[in-house]
Chains A and B, each alone.
Chain A
Amino acid sequence: MHELALAQQILHIVIQTSQEYNFLTVSKIKIKAGELLAVVPEALEFSFKIISQNTVAENAQLIVQQEQAIAQCQHCSLEYPWLKYGYQCPSCKKQGGTIIRGRDLTIDYLEGD
């Protein structure tokens, strides 16, 4: 259940940004969640709904887009899903791939008035 802690971080950033842009309400928040963070979208949405009550974001729709963890082979440059193949390239079978996507949790954008 680290979703609650993540929701608190999100709310903090959303409130800060709303003040910067003088938003009275926030209607939409788009989140990109890397697979390596093991975020459960429903749990994040639920946590955010609870803690955003009585804030500028209380009616905001939180959209969570999961981002697959992608590794890249150092030998043949193939990009492949890390969770399925780990560090071994499924094509040339060499070890030593590096994870290039899926480690981050970011707020992509927010919409408000």
Chain B
Amino acid sequence: MQVKLLTNILKANKDLADTNRTIFHKAGIKVINLISSPGAGKTTLLENTIENLSSCLSLGVIEGDLQTTKDGERIAQLGVPVVQINTQGGCHLDANMVNQALTELPLEDIQLLFIENVGNLVCPASFALGEDAKVVITSVPEGSDKPAKYPIIFEKAQICLLNKIDLLPYTNFNRREFYEDLQKINPSLTVFEVSVLTGEGMGAWYSWVKKI
């Protein structure tokens, strides 16, 4: 016997993401989902952003990694409430993991929550968490072809940070190709060119974060 279903497989995740969104909305919290490949600079970006903005915004962080609490410890040193999720091999955070992590955060004290997703440019794009914006970070040494190769996350993101621009003179990163591909994939994407390490270009990023 054949049963016609037409069931959306990601519906369970989407429903939970909506639940999270309602919780965030009620608590007056804005949420940013940070997505990049491993080593693009997510955690360092977070550290610098916290140092710069914690005087004017109360921040919170959810850290996602396959294993270890290394990143969570780095963030905790800055005096910000942080929950570390270990996905035990899972390649992305899902709405359920975030929902459970919320019980460990002092939501009433947080205005802006950063969720650092597992380092991966593919899977996190498909799983909504209840965020206000997805921010994709890519870095110069990864090459200018990343938007063309992994278009889905660039299509879904509101902001793209191009990190490690201090390394531009030492690579064959092709800016023209990078922007042409992005224009094709997501014409409304805002790009900030930054070096998290030297601080170059970070002002525009901080201004955007403050306004979200």
A5 contacts the other chain (CB 8 A): yes
Q: When chains A and B are docked, how far (Å) is the Cα of A107 from the Cα of B6? A: 5
Majority secondary structure, B binding face: mixed
Please determine whether A37 and B12 come into contact, CB atoms closer than 8 angstroms: no
Taking CB atoms and an 8 Å cut-off, the chain B residues in 168-212 that contact chain A are: 183-187
Q: When chains A and B are docked, how far (Å) is the Cα of A6 from the Cα of B11? A: 11
Chain B count of residues within 8 A CB distance of the other chain: 29
Q: Which of B20-28, B39-47, B88-96 contacts A (4 or more CB under 8 A)?
A: B88-96
A75 contacts the other chain (CB 8 A): no
B100 contacts the other chain (CB 8 A): no
Please determine whether B9 and A107 come into contact, CB atoms closer than 8 angstroms: yes
Interface-central residue, B2, B12, B183, by most chain A CB under 10 Å: B2
What are the interface flags for A19-59 relative to B under an 8 Å C-beta threshold, 1 for contact and 0 otherwise?
00101000000010000111000000000000000000000
A2-B122, A86-B185 as given contacts; A9 in contact with B12, CB under 8 Å: yes
Pairs A–B under 8 Å by Cβ, sample size 27: A1-B123, A5-B91, A5-B123, A5-B127, A9-B12, A9-B13, A13-B7, A17-B3, A17-B5, A21-B3, A23-B1, A31-B9, A38-B122, A38-B152, A83-B151, A87-B185, A95-B187, A105-B9, A106-B7, A107-B7, A108-B4, A108-B5, A109-B4, A110-B3, A110-B5, A111-B1, A111-B3
B residues at A contact (CB < 8 Å): 1-10, 12-13, 90-92, 94, 122-123, 125-127, 151-152, 155, 183-187
